């Protein structure tokens, strides 16, 4: 029997958490056809020497924002070069469908790109992705914000009516039938923060009927974390939905014991029979848009109305007052702990703290610095991104010690050349896998190597409902990573976050080599996966 690819003499970590074992891996026609046997001398079109290397399933990023980037630059360099072979998009309530033609064009505009499609339904979106020459596999989730804006319009920071909720449920039902794996919310963001419990419960019931997954960026993760996570658990109780709590790390301002208490809440819910798990970013830095700091009513404004407010002292005074702030860091004006992450108008300032920029530009305070940055951005003011020192290292470790905590990027696939050059979401966008495996697994030994690989493979696959990926086993899709754990290096920095990580030797997607010994293949073998 011949193989397309044979990976020889590696230390196989199959993704289940089982101990590593020495052996070879054979791949034929995009499928794993042998695991663990000695394939010395067997005919193969390509042989990879994995001596002193780990061989595992391709990594599955359960929470990404690569929706737009797969159309703008489908190479997905920052993800492929970290061993990521599957991405779950449509997170935090934001997805490219369902939509109107206007809302779709607006989403592309946030990236400074022209509209790349003609879809409005979820099925049409997945069809467009089929034709987009994508490099990673894609799992699609339906964003709550997309449902709301399609039914209610883009500028409605208010509760939905019963008729509007019913219309959203119909759209969600259709999207799930057309291949979406589940539903997501971003309840700290517009328009999610305006949703009532009953609205969310009706949508979660639709997900339950389709055996999908509900993933939520909860309403609060600092002072009111108990209420935010409690709402998510109550939705699971009421609807029976399978629940994934996105980036479970509590943020700056949380009470002591918040992380431990959150895990206790989850365990109580699981003791009741609820299907609940979570994921986290392996970082101490939280990123979001500067506009997320503004009060809910401001999202009902047009771009011109917002810019007009930013030009006046009274408008700025009104915008400062937010009874439900996104970050306590901003409430306490900890500008020394907040850095500018993205600004097309001021790329030279990216990486610097807001305190530093305030002092250099001699503005009144950090608020005025933010407002100036947004004003200089013009109609694309929502593209001003910040990162704050929000996650405590001890909380990250506590979360990782829980066996149901997967690891995710909360980033987007990008590249440090081409149409997305200089763009990123989060300081670790290009290095999140390296940070997790290098810092928490190899150096700090918070969890074992085998369990670390499981958090990136079998665990997210099982949560999403993928049955042929996430485990290196005969008959599964040939998504495979070969890596040098000792050589894994997080190369990120605030001054240059778009540097690729080190340590990944080989990446295979659906049986096709995507990355080999530092060289990127032009062949893209990613697929749109349908539920």
Clarify whether residues 365 and 399 are in a common domain: no
Alpha-carbon gap, residue 413 to 424, rounded angstroms? 8
What is the rounded CA–CA span in Å between residue 354 and residue 370? 8
Strands (E), 175-296: 182-186, 213-217, 242-245, 276-280, 285-289
Q: Do 189 and 147 fall within a single domain?
A: yes
Residues 434 and 468 in one domain: yes
Which one of 389, 420, 451 terminates a domain?
389
CATH of the domain at 180: 3.20.20.140
In a domain, 530, yes or no: no
For residue 14, tell me if it sits in a domain: no
Shared domain check, 179 and 96 = yes
Helix 101-109 × helix 144-152 angle, to 10°: 130
Instruction: Judge whether 18 lies within some domain.
Output: no
Are 398 and 383 members of one domain?
no
299 lies in the same domain as 203: no
- Are 91 and 157 in a shared domain? yes
| Domain range enclosing 459 | 59-284+391-509
| Residues 252, 349 within the same domain | no
User: Is position 19 within any domain?
Assistant: no
Are residues 411 and 365 both part of a single domain? no
| Tens digit of pLDDT at every position of the chain (531 positions) | 689 999 999 999 999 999 999 999 999 999 999 999 999 999 999 999 999 999 999 999 999 999 999 999 999 999 999 999 999 999 999 999 999 999 999 899 888 789 999 999 999 999 999 999 999 999 999 999 999 999 999 878 899 999 999 999 999 999 999 999 999 999 999 899 999 999 999 999 999 999 999 999 999 999 889 999 999 999 999 999 999 999 999 999 999 999 999 999 999 999 999 999 999 999 999 999 999 999 988 988 999 999 999 999 999 999 999 877 789 999 999 999 999 998 989 989 999 999 999 999 999 999 999 999 999 999 889 889 999 999 999 999 999 999 999 999 999 999 999 999 888 888 999 999 999 999 999 999 999 999 999 999 999 999 999 999 999 999 999 999 999 999 999 999 988 889 999 999 999 999 999 999 999 999 999 999 999
Q: How many domains does the chain have?
A: 2
Is 412 contained in some domain? yes
Residue 141 lies in a domain: yes
Beta bridge partners of 357: none
Do 420 and 301 have their domain in common? no
Provide the pairing of β-strand 213-217 with 242-245.
Answer: parallel
Asked whether residue 422 is assigned to any structural domain, the reply reads yes
Tell me: do 273 and 132 sit in the same domain. Answer: yes
Of 389, 414, 431, the residue at which a domain comes to its end is: 389
């Amino acid at each position: 029997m011949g193989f397309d690819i044979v990976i020889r003499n590696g230390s196989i970590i199959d993704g289940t958490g089982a101990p590593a074992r020495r052996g070879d891996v054979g791949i034929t026609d995009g499928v794993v056809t042998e695991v663990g046997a000695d394939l010395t001398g067997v005919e193969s079109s390509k042989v990879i020497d994995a001596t002193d290397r780990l061989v595992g399933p391709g990594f599955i990023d359960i929470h990404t924002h690569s929706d737009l980037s797969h159309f703008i630059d489908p190479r997905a360099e920052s993800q492929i070069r970290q061993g990521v072979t599957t991405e779950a998009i449509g997170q935090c309530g934001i997805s490219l469908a369902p939509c109107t033609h206007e809302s779709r064009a607006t989403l592309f505009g946030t990236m400074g790109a022209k509209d790349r499609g003609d879809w409005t339904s979820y099925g049409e979106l997945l069809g467009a992705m089929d034709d987009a020459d994508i490099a990673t596999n894609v799992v699609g989730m339906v964003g709550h914000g997309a449902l709301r804006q399609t039914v209610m319009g883009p500028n409605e920071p208010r509760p939905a009516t019963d008729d509007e909720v019913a219309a959203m449920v119909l759209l969600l039902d259709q999207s799930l039938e057309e291949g979406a794996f589940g539903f997501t919310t971003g309840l700290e963001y517009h328009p999610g923060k305006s949703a009532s419990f009953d609205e969310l419960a009706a949508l979660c019931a639709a997900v339950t009927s389709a055996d999908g997954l509900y993933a939520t960026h909860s309403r609060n993760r600092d002072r009111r974390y108990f209420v935010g996570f409690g709402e998510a658990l109550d939705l699971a109780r009421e609807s029976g939905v399978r629940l994934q709590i996105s980036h479970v790390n509590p943020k700056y301002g949380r009470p002591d014991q918040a992380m431990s208490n959150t895990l206790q809440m989850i365990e109580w819910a699981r003791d009741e029979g609820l299907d609940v798990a979570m994921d986290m970013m392996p970082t101490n830095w939280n990123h979001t848009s500067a506009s997320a700091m503004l009060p809910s009513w401001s999202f009902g404004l047009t771009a011109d109305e917002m810019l007009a407010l930013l030009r006046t002292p009274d408008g700025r005074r009104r915008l400062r007052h937010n009874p439900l702030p996104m970050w306590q860091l901003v409430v306490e004006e900890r500008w020394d702990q907040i850095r500018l992450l993205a600004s097309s108008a001021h790329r030279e300032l990216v990486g610097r703290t807001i305190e530093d920029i305030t002092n250099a530009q001699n503005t009144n305070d950090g608020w005025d610095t933010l407002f100036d940055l947004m004003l200089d951005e013009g109609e694309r003011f929502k593209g001003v991104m910040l990162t704050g020192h929000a996650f405590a290292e001890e909380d990250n470790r506590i979360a990782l010690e829980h066996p149901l905590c997967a690891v995710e990027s909360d980033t987007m696939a990008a590249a440090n050349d081409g149409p997305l050059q200089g763009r990123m979401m989060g300081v670790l966008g290009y290095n999140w896998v390296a940070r997790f495996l290098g810092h928490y697994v190899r150096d700090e030994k918070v969890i074992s190597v085998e369990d670390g690989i499981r958090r990136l493979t079998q665990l997210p696959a099982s949560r999403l409902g993928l049955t042929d990926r996430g485990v290196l086993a005969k008959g599964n899709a040939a998504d495979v990573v070969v890596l040098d754990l000792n050589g894994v290096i997080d190369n990120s920095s605030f001054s240059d976050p778009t540097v690729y990580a080190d340590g990944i030797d080989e990446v295979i997607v659906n049986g096709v080599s995507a990355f080999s010994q530092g060289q990127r293949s032009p062949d893209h073998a990613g697929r749109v996966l349908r539920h």
